[in-house]
Chain A
Amino acid sequence: MAATAATAGRLLRLRAAGAEGHWRRLRGAGLPRGFLQPASADGDAAQRRQVAHFTFQPDPEPLEYGQTQKMNLFQAVTSALDNSLAKDPTAVIFGEDVAFGGVFRCTVGLRDKYGLINQTVQSDAGPRMALANLWDVWSRNDPFELSVEMWIPQVAAGICVHLLPVNCSWSNGSVDLQQLSSYLQSDRKLMRDVGHNFRRQSQTMMTNCRMCLVGISQHSPHLRFMVKGMIELKVTSVQQEELVVIPRSPFQAKGLLLSCIEDKNPCIFFEPKILYRAAVEQVPTEPYNIPLSQAEVIQEGSDVTLVAWGTQVHVIREVASMAQEKLGVSCEVIDLRTIIPWDVDTVCKSVIKTGRLLVSHEAPLTGGFASEISSTVQEECFLNLEAPISRVCGYDTPFPHIFEPFYIPDKWKCYDALRKMINY
């Protein structure tokens, strides 16, 4: 976050202001840096905003996909979108603030490369012109403000019905429950009732998630709410129609996103906000796919299975090394990657081997996805279990602002739970 602040600071044009500065300031950058005295040294660590509770661990450079480039998470997303737009001239990105690059910089440069479609743009790109004529209202620069997420999926679903594969993206998947419910209801209707009459392309919806040292409950939606939304729809079959995918790193993000885009099912792709800049690794510049609905065993082990997804994978990786070091316990670490439908086989196979399972996520405990995993695993592997399945999750409260360090299931909580499981 300090890096972000510094970068943004450089972007702002700082004006040296005298002691008697003007009331009116451009861009809030008027005060010289020294105006505010830095916080005292000993109070520094925590008076400053909390530093991350995890360390991002990059995977080794992938060699099988050609040339790679150092990218962070949002750059990997941009790369995936770039590849998919290049491949398919009818593809559209429809979302909030996507034209200028996006609030989280996921679409930087794409407008200049591929063009902006709206009523007033008269470009001579063939297929896109045809698109503009036909549809005339779909613009890549979403006309809606933050939180009109309500309508983006709907409208995007409409685009899909009539021709085009769509990536629709919105930032801060905050009003998730409501709009996802309405989206899923309308989507379901489209798929089932109207399906045969329309050629339906797939739709990938991208949004970001997770606490990120800034936003709290309304800006840190949890996967749980999304899943809950689906459950609350009372039509259980809807769960089989949408895929839910979360990457842990830039390399995973690009591959998974490209798979989602190509998949015929509608997909919801979450991007852990905190990893946008914090996660950097070598990512192939050419397109490649990572299979959906397949979990990945990142580290093999024999005593405990640890399952997580997104940012939390890095937390449990650290817990695995702590366990090895302090308890001599060998952990098998699994990144679930696709939440729905999830890879039951890989997880069960692992639990049969180890006999112990710990699932961790930031979303609240009750109704969180760990309960689904826990339930299924105990059904499938009951006799193999040496200890009750452990869930280390957020509390059943709205996500707090200042209490964040106490709320999140950090490595100490996971470590403690693991220790208890070993000693059961």
Chain B
Amino acid sequence: MAVAAAAARVWGSSRGLGRVGLLLLRQPGARGLARSHPQRQQQHFSSLDDKPQFPGASAEFIDRLEFIQPNVISGIPIYRVMDRQGQIINPSEDPHLPQEKVLKFYKTMTLLNTMDRILYESQRQGRISFYMTNYGEEGTHVGSAAALDNTDLVFGQYREAGVLMYRNYPLELFMAQCYGNVSDLGKGRQMPVHYGCRERHFVTISSPLATQIPQAVGAAYAAKRANANRVVICYFGEGAASEGDAHAGFNFAATLECPIIFFCRNNGYAISTPTSEQYRGDGIAARGPGYGILSIRVDGNDVFAVYNATKEARRRAVAENQPFLIEAMTYRIGHHSTSDDSSAYRSVDEVNYWDKQDHPISRLRHYLQSCGWWGDEQEKAWRKQSRKKVMEAFEQAERKLKPSPNLLFSDVYQEMPTQLRKQQESLAHHLQTYGEHYPLDHFEK
């Protein structure tokens, strides 16, 4: 494993582990599932050789005492396609995406940005209870979402609204969820930003961190067993990667050989905790090889880099049934949420830098402009149009009624148990007498 780590440091992903893969001991599984790495040989057990016979590691002996130095000064390199001005650096890495697709990237990112601003403001005005913005991370959402098939299952953490937006989740439903009105697919039960959509294969967001990681692994394992030609992508932040669930998830994914992409948005902060206090190793990408997972680090603010990496990871994950780890480096420009004021723990200058000098939206815009696919006129028109769209959806969402209070009790169990039915009846009864004290006018009957 030390070899893998060292190799990975030098050359990121495939090459390093490929060599090591050959050395890995593999016993056929108890269930006799076909091995997906035919090049792994079973080592010959012989008591005459002076070679290590330990089942736990495949390595040579060494007679020098040497600790492996974690290398964080020059860590795993960051893959990028565009520079900060949106110019392609290495033409052979240009994905050559059609204009239509790239425009969709741009429009999705900017629409998300607009929606964020308006919903954040609406929380400040007391119209919704809570909100989390995605400023600065739009590139990670759109780049990765675009590289997947529409049926690939998405497990998010809470800052992946762009993925859903790319999959054409209507503004109306985003707003409905935040307002908890009748149109909300979640029936008003979840707090804002906890989106979920079955048709778009986006698993409902759940607040506790990193719980989605082992769940995603399970789903990927099921996809493999069903031969579904589907991949599961699991998003999380660098802070969530410190959770115990992340460790379990990574290890299971590797040992169960699941077609899963672990996508870590390393945005520099976990609420107030900076990455300098989050870990001492080389970020999250360096952990992958420790589990036997192919890993790469990308520039998360470069949509094309994210796209390329995710595309390749998807292709191989499905073909080879193995997990991939993508660490997308980015920056959280906004506050953690509406309950946070980040000026308490970071400087305005730092935030300004990322907002002005290295933002996924502006980098893509420069690219579009240099291709001649976008100009100031279109920019103006689109800004107006997108704001109008968002405002319309917003006003409509605000006017709608909330779901009926009966929905408080349904869906807890498949069949409502008697005890719960009694409670439902007692509420109905209570409202008959005391209804004037409740905001019944705003709820459906």
Point out the residues of chain A lying under 8 angstroms from B56, CB to CB.
none
A100 contacts chain B at the CB level, 8 A cutoff: yes
A143 contacts chain B at the CB level, 8 A cutoff: yes
Cβ-defined partner of A46 (8 Å) among B123, B239, B419, B441:
B441
Point out the residues of chain A lying under 8 angstroms from B181, CB to CB.
402
B13 contacts chain A at the CB level, 8 A cutoff: no
Report Cα–Cα, A8/B339, bound state, in Å.
8
Contact code string A373-409 (vs B, CB < 8 Å = 1, else 0): 0000000000000000000000111101111011100
Report Cα–Cα, A128/B211, bound state, in Å.
36
B407 & A403 in contact (Cβ 8 Å cutoff): yes
B271 & A397 in contact (Cβ 8 Å cutoff): no
Report Cα–Cα, A11/B340, bound state, in Å.
10
A145 & B135 in contact (Cβ 8 Å cutoff): no
Q: At the interface with chain B, which of A28-36, A59-67, A156-164, A333-341?
A: A28-36
Determine the residue in chain B with the shortest Cβ distance to A149.
B208
Q: Which of A72-99 contact B (CB under 8 A)?
A: 96-97, 99
Q: Which of A35-77 contact B (CB under 8 A)?
A: 35-36, 38-39, 43, 45-50
A231 contacts chain B at the CB level, 8 A cutoff: no
Contact code string A8-30 (vs B, CB < 8 Å = 1, else 0): 11011100000010011111101
Point out the residues of chain B lying under 8 angstroms from A99, CB to CB.
272, 345
B168 contacts chain A at the CB level, 8 A cutoff: no
A290 contacts chain B at the CB level, 8 A cutoff: no
A214 & B339 in contact (Cβ 8 Å cutoff): yes
Determine the residue in chain A with the shortest Cβ distance to B190.
A401
A174 contacts chain B at the CB level, 8 A cutoff: yes
Q: At the interface with chain A, which of B40-48, B67-75, B225-233, B429-437?
A: B429-437
Identify whether the interface residues of A are mostly helix, strand, loop, or mixed. loop
Say yes or no: A407-B362 contact (C-beta < 8 A), given A216-B189, A395-B420.
no
Say yes or no: A142-B125 contact (C-beta < 8 A), given A100-B345, A174-B207.
no
Point out the residues of chain B lying under 8 angstroms from A39, CB to CB.
127, 398
B208 & A97 in contact (Cβ 8 Å cutoff): no
B439 & A97 in contact (Cβ 8 Å cutoff): no
Q: Which of B134-156 contact A (CB under 8 A)?
A: 135
Point out the residues of chain A lying under 8 angstroms from B180, CB to CB.
401-402
B320 contacts chain A at the CB level, 8 A cutoff: no
B29 contacts chain A at the CB level, 8 A cutoff: no
Report Cα–Cα, A99/B271, bound state, in Å.
12
Point out the residues of chain B lying under 8 angstroms from A395, CB to CB.
408-409, 420, 423, 427
Point out the residues of chain A lying under 8 angstroms from B407, CB to CB.
403
A145 & B120 in contact (Cβ 8 Å cutoff): no
A24 & B130 in contact (Cβ 8 Å cutoff): no
A122 contacts chain B at the CB level, 8 A cutoff: no
B442 & A47 in contact (Cβ 8 Å cutoff): yes
Contact code string B212-242 (vs A, CB < 8 Å = 1, else 0): 0000000000000000000000000101101
B271 & A146 in contact (Cβ 8 Å cutoff): yes
Q: Which of B367-418 contact A (CB under 8 A)?
A: 380, 383, 394, 398, 402-403, 405, 407-409, 412
B189 & A100 in contact (Cβ 8 Å cutoff): no
Q: Which of B345-362 contact A (CB under 8 A)?
A: 345, 348, 351-352, 355-356, 359, 361-362
Determine the residue in chain A with the shortest Cβ distance to B334.
A28
Determine the residue in chain B with the shortest Cβ distance to A105.
B344
Point out the residues of chain B lying under 8 angstroms from A100, CB to CB.
272, 344-345
B190 & A36 in contact (Cβ 8 Å cutoff): no
B32 contacts chain A at the CB level, 8 A cutoff: no
Report Cα–Cα, A99/B277, bound state, in Å.
12
Cβ-defined partner of A23 (8 Å) among B110, B129, B208:
B110
Determine the residue in chain A with the shortest Cβ distance to B429.
A416
A2 contacts chain B at the CB level, 8 A cutoff: yes
Cβ-defined partner of A27 (8 Å) among B345, B351, B398, B405:
B351
A26 & B338 in contact (Cβ 8 Å cutoff): no
Report Cα–Cα, A396/B422, bound state, in Å.
11
A141 contacts chain B at the CB level, 8 A cutoff: yes
A151 & B335 in contact (Cβ 8 Å cutoff): no
Point out the residues of chain B lying under 8 angstroms from A33, CB to CB.
125
Contact code string A197-236 (vs B, CB < 8 Å = 1, else 0): 0000000000000000111111100000000000000000
Report Cα–Cα, A5/B129, bound state, in Å.
10
B339 & A28 in contact (Cβ 8 Å cutoff): no
Point out the residues of chain B lying under 8 angstroms from A151, CB to CB.
244
A2 & B117 in contact (Cβ 8 Å cutoff): no
Report Cα–Cα, A100/B423, bound state, in Å.
44
Say yes or no: A24-B437 contact (C-beta < 8 A), given A103-B339, A401-B191, A402-B180.
no
A38 & B125 in contact (Cβ 8 Å cutoff): yes
B125 & A5 in contact (Cβ 8 Å cutoff): yes
Report Cα–Cα, A48/B207, bound state, in Å.
23
What is the minimal beta-carbon distance from B335 to any residue of chain A, in angstroms? 6
A190 contacts chain B at the CB level, 8 A cutoff: no
B117 & A25 in contact (Cβ 8 Å cutoff): yes
Report Cα–Cα, A9/B122, bound state, in Å.
12
What is the minimal beta-carbon distance from A78 to any residue of chain B, in angstroms? 15
Point out the residues of chain A lying under 8 angstroms from B125, CB to CB.
5, 33, 36, 38
Point out the residues of chain A lying under 8 angstroms from B334, CB to CB.
25, 27-28
Point out the residues of chain A lying under 8 angstroms from B342, CB to CB.
27
Report Cα–Cα, A413/B344, bound state, in Å.
42
**Which 3 A-B residue pairings sit nearest by Cβ, starting from the closest?**
A145-B239, A402-B180, A402-B188
Residues of A within 8 A of B (CB): 1-2, 5, 8-9, 11-13, 20, 23-28, 30-31, 33, 35-36, 38-39, 43, 45-50, 96-97, 99-101, 103, 118, 139, 141-148, 150-151, 172, 174-175, 213-219, 365-366, 395-398, 400-403, 405-407, 410, 412-413, 416
Q: A26-B348, A406-B438 are in contact. List 13 more A-B contacts (CB 8 A).
A: A1-B129, A23-B110, A25-B355, A27-B351, A36-B118, A143-B279, A148-B242, A151-B244, A214-B129, A214-B191, A401-B191, A405-B439, A416-B430
Residues of B within 8 A of A (CB): 110, 113-114, 116-118, 120-130, 133, 135, 180-181, 188-191, 206-211, 237, 239-240, 242-244, 270-273, 277-279, 333-335, 338-345, 348, 351-352, 355-356, 359, 361-362, 380, 383, 394, 398, 402-403, 405, 407-409, 412, 419-420, 423, 427, 430-431, 433-434, 437-439, 441-442
